[in-house]
Structure 1
Amino acid sequence: MNYIELQVQVSPDFTDILMAELAELNFESFVETDEGLNAYIIESEFNAVAVDDLIAKYGSQTAIAYQVSTLEKRNWNAEWEQSYQPIEVADQVRVRASFHEPDDRFQYDIVINPKMSFGTGHHETTAMMLEQQLRLDHQGKTVLDVGTGTGILAILAAKMGARAVLAFDIEEWAVENTRENADLNHCPQVTVFEGTIADVRNAERFDIVLANINRNVLLAEIPAYVSLLNDGGQLAVSGFYEMDAPDIEQKATEAGLKSVQLLTKNQWASILFEKTQ
């Protein structure tokens, strides 16, 4: 299975909004560069016309150009993996690669060696999801991690005392990476499979559901998440722009949730909901 690499040359002011727009076109991984950003998508999912229309949309607002190339299946983030720095969230969580030394000042030390997966904590949406988790009681709870990426959210849930964590992703690289990262962090309670929300058994119920995906998937799947959530359970979501928060909140309210906390950062948003009993 080959991938398409889209290299976009654009001002840093536009990289976040372009990542959000490209995510809507099923691009699944992003790397910011000195010239703008690189985005990656499975070759069969690539829509050249849609990309051309998107670039033209922003052409009137800023200087922008792009190139498209095909990559054989490989770890295209290899150089970036070796250069990223540890990140810190709320003075409690430190996310680092295995080649960084641990820091005892942080309660939760998470080791993430990413492959092609999105979710090292550097992006605002992942960092906000970690922050949302910190306010939740995971002790002895069951957790579902939707679109797990690198497994970072599942791993924090395990480290915070979750009894069982079920994670899944549609991409085999993400599944492999999550398993490796769970092993690195000594989290045997994390189970991961390749699939979608439809593959989660209807009989299963969870105390916490975590979904860092994108607006369209959340709007389509929030009712499914709620059906798998125990009464009084929590749903934390991110992966969408701040301007989309009202639509997410409306869908969640219709499904029987109440909003508990809204976080925003650089125009991205994350919302924590609770299922009313």
Structure 2
Amino acid sequence: MEYVELRISLQDDFHELLIAELFNLDFEGFEQEDDLLLATIPSNRFDDTKREEIEKKLMSFGGEASILSEKIIAPQNWNEEWERSIKPQTIGKFYVHPSWSTFDGELDDKIELMIDPKMAFGTGYHATTRVMLEWLPEVIYEGNRVLDAGTGTGILAIAALKLGAHSAFGFDIDEWSETNARENILLNEVDNFEVRLGSTEVIPEGEKFDVILANINRNTLIELIPELLKFLNDGGQFLLSGLLEEDEEVMLNQPSLKKLTHVDTRRHDEWIALLFKS
């Protein structure tokens, strides 16, 4: 598949804000270097309308913000690209690494998560995944049934199972996710994790969960939350992210979330995660 790469001049303080906007416009890859941001999107999802929308957003940042160049990137071996860029990392109680990176030392009290990504999101590098992983040990209890909305690589559900959850059900609308999550399930040798392609309609009717995890984006969350909460047990917990600091008030004022107790908000850079209890 061909990709379009935009080379954008933007003060580094604003990178995360623009990345959140571009993610909602179907951009999939980002590289940051000082006041330069590279953003890539499949060429069949990019057109003049999106370019104009991006240019309008850049105007709101003022200064020298602009699209410097646009080029087509020919198909290439993306697995090799990931292997060069994805490195082991420690996130809270977890040691996250790809299968091609070996660890010769002692894990001590860390929990190993072996994640081979097909996409950048869901590797632990994004702040929203990090804040969710850091919070999970306080949210997951032995025997919990977990629903992972927009499971991606499956990293959050796999982490929950390794923390003692009884079972997990994950869904995602992207075909790559279904395949990738199942590969990561095998790598981590976890049981009772079912993954399906689709949205809330693929959740088995009548199922109830003790914990719902949703690391997506604000607009999708607002659309999905009323449906997701139908599957939350009484006394259950709902941990969500994919949100910027400025989104907190919007989310707290969602009618369906007002029926829950807001337990806490945690931050990583400009991104936040919110925890609710029913």
* TM-score when normalising by structure 1: 0.88
Distance 1:138 1:32, change over 3 A: farther
TM superposition shift of 1:189: 1.7
Q: Conserved in 2, the CA contact under 8 Å of 1:207 and 1:234?
A: yes
Give 2:29's aligned residue. 30
TM superposition shift of 1:51: 3.0
Matched, 1:150 2:153: yes
Matched, 1:119 2:118: no
Give 1:98's aligned residue. 99
Q: Conserved in 2, the CA contact under 8 Å of 1:147 and 1:170?
A: yes
Q: Conserved in 1, the CA contact under 8 Å of 2:129 and 2:215?
A: yes
Distance 1:177 1:246, change over 3 A: same
Give runs of aligned pairs for residues 208-227 of structure 1, distance below 5 A: 208-227=211-230
In 2, the alpha carbon distance for the partners of 1:196 and 1:7 equals: 30
Distance 1:183 1:42, change over 3 A: farther
Amino acid at match of 1:31: F
In 2, the alpha carbon distance for the partners of 1:98 and 1:227 equals: 37
SS in 2 for 1:232: strand
Give runs of aligned pairs for residues 57-206 of structure 1, distance below 5 A: 57-59=57-59, 60-65=62-67, 66-69=69-72, 76=78, 78-90=80-92, 92-102=93-103, 103-116=106-119, 118-206=121-209
TM superposition shift of 1:266: 1.6
Q: Conserved in 2, the CA contact under 8 Å of 1:81 and 1:114?
A: no
Q: Conserved in 2, the CA contact under 8 Å of 1:151 and 1:167?
A: yes
Of residues 201, 225, 229 in structure 1, which corresponds to 2:232?
Answer: 229
Distance 1:254 1:17, change over 3 A: closer
In 2, the alpha carbon distance for the partners of 1:206 and 1:252 equals: 21
Aligned residues: 270
Give unpaired runs (5+ residues) of structure 2: none
SS in 1 for 2:4: strand
In 2, the alpha carbon distance for the partners of 1:208 and 1:124 equals: 21
TM superposition shift of 1:16: 1.1
Identity value in percent:
35
Q: Conserved in 2, the CA contact under 8 Å of 1:252 and 1:258?
A: no
* TM-score when normalising by structure 2: 0.88
Q: CA RMSD in A?
A: 2.2
- Please list the CA deviations of residues 199-254 of structure 1 after superposition, one character each: whole Å capped at 9, or x if unmatched: 21331111111000000011111111111100111111110111011111221664
SS in 2 for 1:204: coil
Amino acid at match of 2:95: R
- Please list the CA deviations of residues 83-140 of structure 1 after superposition, one character each: whole Å capped at 9, or x if unmatched: 32222222x1111111223341243110111112511101100001112212113311
Give 2:274's aligned residue. 271
In 2, the alpha carbon distance for the partners of 1:210 and 1:71 equals: 36
SS in 1 for 2:190: coil
Give 1:245's aligned residue. 248
Q: Conserved in 1, the CA contact under 8 Å of 2:252 and 2:258?
A: no
Q: Conserved in 2, the CA contact under 8 Å of 1:168 and 1:192?
A: yes
Q: Conserved in 1, the CA contact under 8 Å of 2:172 and 2:197?
A: yes
In 2, the alpha carbon distance for the partners of 1:20 and 1:156 equals: 25
SS in 2 for 1:148: coil
Distance 1:75 1:231, change over 3 A: farther
